[in-house]
Chains A and B, each alone.
Chain A
Amino acid sequence: MSGKVLEINDLHMVYSGGVHAVRGISFNVNEGESVAIIGSSGSGKSTVLRCINRLIEPTGGEIYLKGEQVNTPHTDINNLRSRIGMVFQSFELFAHLKVLDNVTLGLRQVRKMSKREAEEQALAVLERVDMLDRIDAYPGNLSGGQKQRVAIARALAMKPEVLLFDEPTSALDPELIGSVLKTIRGLADEGMTMVVVTHEISFARDVADRVIYMDQGVVAETGPSSIIDNPETERLKKFLSSINEEN
């Protein structure tokens, strides 16, 4: 594990309504590392993730991508975003484009590739997520799991330096979660740097190199994935037990 890909220092986010969602969070993500952020809803997990590629403008703190500061007005944010892949909870595929075009759009428009080049690269990524057989389908005709895999392919096609997953499985039926998790696990095994916000505790335990537990906008506990089995703080214990009750 070499070099920090992401560095987050004292991140604050106050929404315009006055909600202080993130209150000074700092963590690093190293090359090839997969970090899982867990926590109850409203704890600020997704806000942190969205701050990283500035879909939300953080109100304080610094974010660096490979040493380059993300949150200054002077950064070329479009270029930076193209280096940070993002997968959304509800997929957000472009409904009017076929699967293949969803994946090639960024390559054509941002990377300025030729149609042939873009399609080659897209097909390679779609093969990785096992969606080669549906490249001509519209998103509306795909199942949730398929959609999410296409969304992963769309992010992956840009060859990002880090992939952000915003609760990638929480909008899926339980039987469809498996295929998506398998895909993400495969990416982790290949050494993709990832930050995963998730409710899948078992997934966090199995895949993540490191787990960050957030509560009320701060990091309540952090450590290797083993902390899920042996939580140190009361808050994490309580959180884990409440989840186990649900299951």
Chain B
Amino acid sequence: MHEAESGLPKAAEGQGVARVVAITAVILLVAGSTPGQASGFTSGWEVVESGTSEDLLTAANFGGQVWAFGTGGVILNSIDNGISWENTDSPTTSDIRYSDSDFGSLIISGDSGLVLLKSGVDAEWTDISLPGDSQVNGISLTGGQSAIAVGNNGTIWELEEGEWTEISLSIESDLLGVSFIDENLGIVVGSDGTILFSDDGGENWEYREAPEGASDSNIVSVEFYSSTRIYAITDDGSILISMSNVVTGTDVGYVWTLVEFERHYPPGTNEYILGPENLDVELTSVEVVSTSKLLMTGAGGYLSMSINGGTIVSQQINPLGNETSFNGIVMVTGFTGIAIGDGGSILWTDNAGADDQVGFVVPEYGNFGVFVDETKEMFLSGFIATLKIVAFGIVLGFFLGVTLAMCKTSPTSLRYIVERYEPRNVRIVGIPILGAGIFQIYSAIPGTTDLGLQGIEYIFLPVGAPESFLRILLGIALTFVGLLFLSNDGEFAKIRIKSISLNPWRVRPLNTIATVYTDFFRNTPLIVQFLFIHFGVRLGALIQGPGLDIFSFENLEGNHNFLTDIFARYDYSESNYGTLVGGVLYDSAFISAICALGFNSGAYQCETIRGAIQAIPSAQMEAGRSIGLTYLQTMRRVIMPQAIRICIPPMGNEMVNLVLNSSLAMIIGYAELTRQGKLIVASTFQYAYAWGMVLISYFVVTWTLALFLRWMEEKTRIPGLGMTGGN
């Protein structure tokens, strides 16, 4: 008989395992057998006829026309935004390398100190060249008749009223680029990470520190785009950015950072390089189109665009092949513009050069195989994120649930607390407690009346003055206890008012606290709890800060283990040494989600566990106590082990609910499964596929959990304990 009993659960367990294996196999088959997607791209750039074979080196927008300049002093101009070009008379045969237009003027500079100025579309070129041995590396207008030019060995020339003056800075670095946003604010960059800033039109220059990692780089070009944003590029493929910071009150140009690349898309593909250290190209110029949209050129025909300040860079198809290098881009609007290059090459675009997809423009998401293939990564990351909050939520919820259930069933009443003491002593202790209670209420009154609430509005007091509200609650509790203690005569009698009789001594403080907690969390919507905890209390951020101080890289370096990795995981590989890459503390929304789920589930689990505790005959407690165990020992060794077994089935409900409730974490921006599903729908419009897959994914999680709990139930079943309907 005994053997038969232990044999049966094993058979059931075997079935369960087989089911899990079968499901897993099906999922793997589905994931593995999806066909790849075929697609093609064409360049977003169009080749236009320039009428010259000189290398074009620089271009500018000026007077409603587009201008291009190049070797041999060639000057081209286009009156139709760069589609057709005309060769204009040039006053020079020197190579023209740099240009700038602003304040109604156009300035160009080139070899042998050549500088030409045009003060209007119809005006003639004025020759304001520097001495013949000057090598100009960049030029920028600071007014209609004034400009700043930079050169090797820290040379800066300032043009004012037709006269050049040389500003000596005693810098050895070569200065490679200059950009002014108005008459005063300007930026100069150069070799060895040189960044100089001027706020007086170029008279005086101050050093700015290049970000770590760019201090040895040659910063070859810079664009002072706006009063909030400056971009610069290096010849080793990095982008530097400087932003104004409203919070700290820092103006633009002070703090420089290297753009961290998230993805770099090679031309004509949807497959990207994840988190490259640099763009692996010698960048030559940058054109900033809007605050976060930039186009770049580089050696070897490199053309690229980023629409988010450089973190995701898409290299564009160069229709002329990689032999033709491009030297500059000029945009007339956010989308229309030209790129100019060697051999008189001019490319024109009206979609900022973005690659056009051919074949099908969008992957054929209607084909389920394609859909799965395209979206499985997003699904998987959402799936894992959901598993993560669920796992932590269950642990937190169970811990809270057990604690609260113990509090609720605790027999510790006020009478129990005081009855071992002399009534006189209890009365003496009552005095300070009463005093403290009244003081708490009294001191909280200003905080509440200051709010100017009226009547029913006082229901929102906990929001308006949380501290005062807590003080009032505490004050009421202390006053009650104090008055009770003061009235203690050792009788612990009931209070009778007409037909109602109450015994205040039977109040159980732990039970009261736990009841307030569970009532609150069970009587408010979980989605609002999510919002309040994450955005209102900012609990995630509150835990994240101090948490990361404890689990900081300095503390963990060298002695991290799998336990600390749960909280904070750092990258120990060479490329990103010391960056936080994972762990609970990585994301404040993650922390908030765990807390909200755990707090809420704890309230429900508490009631489930309490029910199970109450289902254990009280004589079990008596039996435990009668052999000398304390209350807590009996709870732990006798009551709980039986109660937990009883509450496994209803706990299954709670766990499944917790998994399903985790979908609400999307509201605080946590990228769990439902949120990923929503994002997938937004980009594919395949409602049935996306939501169907989300449904199945949830089913897999909850069903696995249910199987696990069923297995637990079998495994922990005790013969003779409760009706099971089975053996």
B718 touches A140 (CB 8 A): yes
Interface membership of A14, Cβ < 8 A: no
Report the bound CA distance from A94 to B616 in whole Å: 11
Question: Are A140 and B625 in touch, CB under 8 angstroms?
Answer: no
Q: Which of A90, A95, A110, A139 is close to B627, meaning CB atoms less than 8 Å apart?
A: A110
Interface centre among B622, B628, B633, B637 (most CB of A within 10 A): B628
Report B625 CB to chain A, min CB distance, Å: 6
Given known A-B contacts A55-B622, A92-B622, A96-B645, A78 and B718 have beta carbons under 8 A apart: no
Smallest CB separation, B420 vs chain A (Å): 3
- For B496, the chain A residues whose CB sits under 8 A away are none
Interface string of B611-624 (1 = CB under 8 A from A): 00000010110111
Can you report 14 residue pairs joining A to B where beta carbons are below 8 Å apart?
Answer: A55-B622, A55-B625, A78-B628, A86-B627, A92-B620, A94-B623, A96-B641, A96-B642, A105-B637, A109-B629, A110-B629, A140-B719, A155-B626, A158-B627
Residues of A contacting B421 in the complex (Cβ-Cβ under 8 angstroms): 73
A66-106: CB near B (< 8 Å → 1, else 0) gives 00000001100011011111101010111110000000011
Number of residues in B with C-beta < 8 Å to the partner? Answer: 27
Residues of B within 8 A of A93 (CB): 623
Q: How far is the CA of A201 from the CA of B604 in the complex (A)?
A: 52
The distance in angstroms between the C-alpha atoms of A141 and B2, with both chains bound, is 8
Decide if B456 is an interface residue (CB 8 Å cutoff): no
Instruction: Report which of A74, A81, A138 forms a contact with B719, defined as CB distance below 8 A.
Output: A138
Q: Does A141 lie within 8 Å of B720, measured CB to CB?
A: yes
Flag if B626 contacts A81 (CB, 8 Å): yes
B residues apposed to A, CB below 8 Å? 1-2, 419-421, 617, 619-620, 622-630, 633, 637-638, 641-642, 645, 718-721
Chain B residue at minimum C-beta to C-beta distance from A142? B720
Known: A73-B420, A95-B642. A88 touches B623 (CB 8 A): yes
Known: A96-B645, A96-B718, A141-B719. A105 touches B627 (CB 8 A): yes
User: A135-164 CB contact bits vs B (8 Å, 1 = yes)?
Assistant: 001111100000000000011001000000
Is A47 in the interface zone, CB < 8 Å from B? no
In angstroms, Cα B421 to Cα A73, docked, is 8
Q: Which residues of B contact A74 (CB under 8 A)?
A: 420
In the complex, what distance in Å separates the CA atom of A37 from the CA atom of B622? 21
Among A53, A81, A93, A95, the most chain B Cβ lie within 10 Å of the Cβ of A95
**Bound-state Cα–Cα, A180 to B315, Å:** 90
Residues of B within 8 A of A137 (CB): 2
Q: Lowest 9 A-B CB distances belong to which pairs?
A: A140-B720, A82-B628, A73-B420, A92-B623, A106-B627, A86-B626, A140-B719, A110-B628, A95-B721
What residues of chain A have their CB less than 8 Å away from a CB belonging to chain B?
53, 55, 73-74, 78-79, 81-86, 88, 90, 92-96, 105-106, 109-110, 137-141, 154-155, 158
Closest A residue, CB atoms, query B634: A109
Measured between beta carbons, the chain A residues less than 8 angstroms from B625 are 55, 78, 81
Q: A73-B420, A82-B628 are in contact. List 9 more A-B contacts (CB 8 A).
A: A78-B630, A81-B627, A86-B623, A86-B627, A92-B622, A94-B623, A95-B718, A105-B627, A105-B637
Q: For residue A158, which residues in chain B have a CB less than 8 angstroms away from its CB? A: 627-628
Q: Are the CB atoms of A95 and B720 closer together than 8 Å?
A: yes
Most buried by A among B419, B622, B627: B627
Provide the residues of chain A in CB contact with B419, threshold 8 Å.
73
CA distance A84 to B622 in the complex (A): 13
In the bound complex, residues from chain B placing their C-beta under 8 Å from that of A85 are: 626-627
Quick one: closest A residue to B640, CB to CB?
Answer: A96
Expressed in whole angstroms, the Cα–Cα distance for A110 and B446 within the complex equals 53
- For the complex, give the distance between the alpha carbons of A154 and B629 in Å: 13
Q: How far is the CB of B429 from chain A (nearest CB, A)?
A: 15
In the complex, chain B residues whose CB is within 8 Å of the CB of A110: 627-629, 633
Q: Which residues of A contact B622 (CB under 8 A)?
A: 55, 88, 92
Docked CA distance A110–B629 (Å):
6
Q: Return chain B residues, CB-CB under 8 Å to A94.
A: 620, 623-624, 637-638, 642
